[in-house]
Amino acid sequence: MKVLFESIGILVHYNFALPYYLTKVSEIDSIALLTGLFPISMGGYYYISRTWKKIKIYPIRTGVGFIDELKYVKPIRERLIRRIAAKQHYDVVHLNSTEALSQLSGVKVPKLFVLHGSPDHADKQTCKMLGDVYSKVDAFVAVSRHAAYMLREKCGFEPTHVIHHGVDIELFNPLSYAKDRARAKLGLPQDKKIILWNARLSPEKRLETLIYALPKVVKEFKDVVVIVKTRAVVKDYEAKIRSIIRKLNLGAYVIFDKSWTPLVKMPMYYRASDLYINTSVTEAFGSLTMLEAMACGISTIANNASSNPEALGNGGLLYDKDDSIDLAEKILKVLTDERLSVLLSYKASRRVLEELTLKKISEKYVKLYNSLVH
């Protein structure tokens, strides 16, 4: 089976890791991957080098937003997509955004679309767009039951399938790095408890909930530091967060890391940490970074909002939605109770290992491909 696979944004975890695991399923002969140059440099190369015989790379964008949005660039990209689609016969088209749908409408093979996000706040225009996509594809996939529910509640239709995101446990696992080695490589203190927060620095991620929780935490447990690992930044929101940190006199407890780190180096950050916090108020499936932290055996606490509970399962603790006091209490429980920390570490990694490996997720997609083809 030959698959035409369209990537989305810079999600190396999905754009390259999933196709890599798809090629490990016997039914898949080859994958034509429509992608960007920047995602390749951010870790795509790791998977390309391992599957170069089965995955053909077609760079249709740079991966740098302001360049790809230039007026003269879009028509070129559209022509490229049509030309690639016409090069050979594909058995199925796997779409991850609405961008390429119109260019691929002439490809008379089954198409599936994956909704990356939860329509928690979808308006009429968004629902109209998603409804239009739904009418043009053969399968419409949501990545969580929560997203499927919100699609029905907000837009009035349901996806045909729910297939969760998964994790590459060859890369993300408890044995990837020893904690002291990971901290030494990253220049992090060996004698403190480290809390990792890893997401876009934007309002829906609700980092302020963690910042407001910190005064209560450091009052009882001073040997702690929060690593804010981010790359895509909303400047006004960053200014707001830094202002809160200054007002609460927390500068000594928060470290910002805004470096663009290739995916293959991210296990170091997880393994250097004692606790992972997800404060987001809307997620497709609990965030890929949370799943990676769990796969690495890191105790995890998440906001009881959107799809976070579904993704976390029994692999961690939930705090009351946007409640910084409840979050602080749960952080202190984990930091001060070694037995609880070890138990949560085990539960986190087991949650991923039992249900959310990319091997298992890729098999579900291939089963869907086969149902569309046959």
Query: 19 and 112 share a domain?
Result: yes
For position 79, what pLDDT does the model report? 87
Tokens of 329: 């209490």
- 115 in the same domain as 42: yes
At which residue do the structure tokens 């080859």 appear? 30
Q: Which of 83-87, 141-145, 248-252 has the lowest mean pLDDT?
A: 83-87
State whether 188 and 320 are in the same domain.
yes
Claim to verify: residue 350 and residue 362 sit in the same structural domain: no
Residue 263 domain-assigned?
A: yes
* Three-class secondary structure assignment of the chain: CEEEEECCCCCHHHHCHHHHHHCCCCCCCEEEEEEEHHHHHHHHHHHHHHHCCCEEEEEEECCCHHHHCCCCHHHHHHHHHHHHHHHCCCCEEEECCCCCCCCCCCCCCCEEEEECCCCCCCCHHHHHHHHHHHHHCCEEEECCHHHHHHHHHHHCCCCCEECCCCECCCCCCCCCCCHHHHHHHHCCCCCCEEEEEECCECHHHCHHHHHHHHHHHHHHCCCEEEEEECCCECHHHHHHHHHHHHHCCCHHHEEEECCCCCHHHHHHHHHCCCEEEECCCCCCCCCHHHHHHHHCCCEEEEECCCCHHHHHCCCCEEECCCCHHHHHHHHHHHHHCHHHHHHHHHHHHHHHHHHCEHHHHHHHHHHHHHHHHC
| pLDDT beyond 80 at 66 | no
Q: How confident is the model at residue 120 (pLDDT cuts 50, 70, 90)?
A: very high
Report the 10 Å Cβ neighbour count for 132: 11
Amino acid at 276: Y
CATH number at residue 63: 3.40.50.2000
Q: What is the mean pLDDT of residues 192-210?
A: 97
- Is 311 within a domain? yes
pLDDT at 76: 85
Tell whether 144 is covered by a domain. yes
Q: pLDDT for 286-343, tens place per residue?
A: 999 999 999 999 999 999 999 999 999 999 999 999 999 999 999 999 999 999 999 9
Q: What is the pLDDT at residue 104?
A: 87
Query: What is the extent of the structural domain holding 141?
Result: 2-166+357-373
pLDDT at 74 over 90: no
Residue 130 and residue 53 share a domain: yes
How far is 332 from 349, CA to CA, in rounded Å? 21
50 belongs to a structural domain: yes
Are residues 82 and 96 both part of a single domain?
A: yes
Q: What is the count of structural domains for the chain? A: 2
Q: What is the pLDDT of residue 175?
A: 96
Does the structure show a pLDDT above 80 at 19? yes
The answer as to whether 174 is a domain residue is: no
pTM: 0.95
Q: For residues 163 and 366, what is the distance between their CA atoms, to the nearest angstrom?
A: 11
Predicted local confidence at residue 91, as pLDDT? 96
* Amino acid type, 224: V
Q: What average pLDDT does the chain have? A: 95
Residues 325 and 368 in one domain: no
201 and 158 in a common domain: no
> Which tens digit of pLDDT belongs to each residue from 154-176?
999 999 999 999 999 999 999 99
**What pLDDT, on a 0 to 100 scale, did the predictor assign at position 87?**
80
Is there a domain that residue 343 lies in? yes
Does some domain include residue 150? yes
Instruction: Give the phi and the psi of residue 189 in degrees, each rounded to 5.
Output: -65, 140
Residues 103 and 228 in one domain: no
Q: Are residues 12 and 160 in the same domain?
A: yes
Phi, psi (rounded to 5 degrees) for 160: -80, -25
User: Domain check: are 341 and 235 in the same one?
Assistant: yes
- The answer to the question of residue 173 being in a domain is no
Same domain? For 285 and 242 the reply is: yes
Q: Is 25 exposed, middle or buried (0-12, 13-18, 19+ CB in 10 A)?
A: middle
